[in-house]
Amino acid sequence: MNKEYKILEEKIGNLGLDINWVKDSIRNLEIETPSWGYGDSGTRFKVFRKKGVPGSLYEKLDDAAIVNKYTGVCPSVAVHIPWDKVENYDDACAYAENLGIRIGAVNPNVFQDDDYMLGSVTNADSDTRKKATAHMVECVDIARKFKSKSLSLWFADGTNYPGQGNIRKRKNWMLESLLELDKAMDDDMRMLIEYKAFEPGFYHTDINDWGMSYLLANKVGKKAQVLVDLGHHAQEVNIEHIVATLLDENKIGGFHFNNKKYADDDLIVGTIKPYELFLIFNEIIDAKFDGKTKDCAENIAYMIDQSHSIEPKIPAMIKSVINVQTAHAKALLVDRKALENARNNNDVLGAESAVHDAFLNDVRPLLAAVREEMGLNPDPMKAYLDSGYEMEKLKRGYGQGWE
């Protein structure tokens, strides 16, 4: 492994890259894990119960801290309200801090209440719209208690049949709700607006694509940004094109990492389309060298949004983190001078090769070296499996904490 690293280090030098910049970039990439990714979950047809799976927020934080312990780059945990409500928020924050982690984005739930069957903030019933908006405003207060600065918003609002709803009215109701939420937020908070191409609105979904999310974020103002979920696109949509456009507009706020094969998004990130993930990071890193987009590119929130139904929870989360780190590290190694020269000379194959050659690099020795410098085991997955924690989890009851 050391010999392999030396070869890669020399290659990095030949590209004119500073090895310390590369290592610092790898170290500084923080990836937020979701509380719901540690709990029981399933398909639309069944929730699969597993032994040792946490039920309370405190138990989820225990598991999240383990992922951070072995990866070193997952210091925050996204929470979902009301799933993760607690009696004492100060106590929960202190508990997380003692584990070496913190609470990250707060996610309101405006899709599981019976009142939201025909929509939440876009419902034709004004009382239902008020209820949904009030819940989101409540989440602002909860975010303050959790010392969080981000609200992550996803709406299941949509219609199944033509004529079921007035699309223009629903658009304006959505905006009214977001503007009210914006007023309730502190100036240093941000609102991340997610979108989804379809489901559960089979005829129309109120925030159907990045353009609708971008439109709303622009109308809301500086606190609002677009959240890109990798699974929430139609087949073969060029996501890196969307990312580049939002970067240029300084309106991309975060990612939900996952992967899809056909429709939904609960496959482990990087398992189906690793090249796509690499190309997304290529656009982000490229934007960091442009004064116009640098600040936006450096303030993106990277979050995993996966419900692991058949995989063991913690190993699935660790694999997700490793896959993200791998794609990111490869994108750092793009020969940007050669790429720019090829573009300027209309050298199509030269430009493609400059990008693709970076993807072909085996960056595992580099990642291992960085982990060792951070005082971590170079192989997070093996270190976790050897720790015995997975067997210890089997002693747990369902949602009952440690026995």
pTM of whole model > 0.85?
A: yes
Whether residue 380 is predicted with pLDDT greater than 80 in this model: the reply is: yes
Check residue 44 and give its pLDDT: 66
With respect to residue 398, please indicate whether it lies within any of the assigned structural domains.
no
Write the pLDDT tens digit of every residue in 37-52. Answer: 998 876 667 777 777 7
Strand, helix or coil at 162? Answer: coil
What's the chain's Rg over C-alpha atoms?
22
- Do the domain assignments include residue 400? no
Per-residue pLDDT tens for 84-127? 999 999 999 999 999 999 999 999 999 999 999 999 999 999 99
pLDDT band at 391 (very low <50, low <70, confident <90, very high): confident
CATH number of the domain residue 351 falls in? 3.20.20.150
Q: Does residue 403 lie within any of the structural domains?
A: no
Q: How many CB atoms lie within 10 A of CB 63?
A: 23
**How far apart are the C-alpha atoms of 38 and 63, rounded to whole Å?**
7
Q: Following DSSP, what letter does each residue of 306-355 receive, concatenated?
A: ---SSS-HHHHHHHHHHHHHHHHHHHHT--HHHHHHHHHTT-HHHHHHHH
274, pLDDT greater than 80: yes
Query: For the chain, how many structural domains are there in total?
Result: 1
SS3 146: helix
Residues 6+ apart with CB under 8 A from 211: none
Q: What is the pLDDT of residues 71-88, one digit of tens each?
A: 999 999 999 999 999 999
Specify if 269 maps to a domain.
yes
> Does residue 241 lie within any of the structural domains?
yes
Asked if residue 323 is part of any domain, the answer here is yes
* Lowest mean pLDDT across 128-132, 220-224, 273-277, 305-309: 305-309
Domain that holds residue 77: 2-393
Q: Both tokens of residue 76?
A: 């925050």
Q: Tokens for 359? A: 């993807």
Q: Across the chain, what does the average pLDDT equal? A: 94
Alpha helices in 147-293 (DSSP H): 167-184, 210-220, 239-248, 274-287
Q: What is the pLDDT of residue 51?
A: 78
Q: Let me know if residue 67 belongs to a domain.
A: yes
Percent of the chain whose predicted confidence (pLDDT) is above 90: 87
276 within some domain: yes
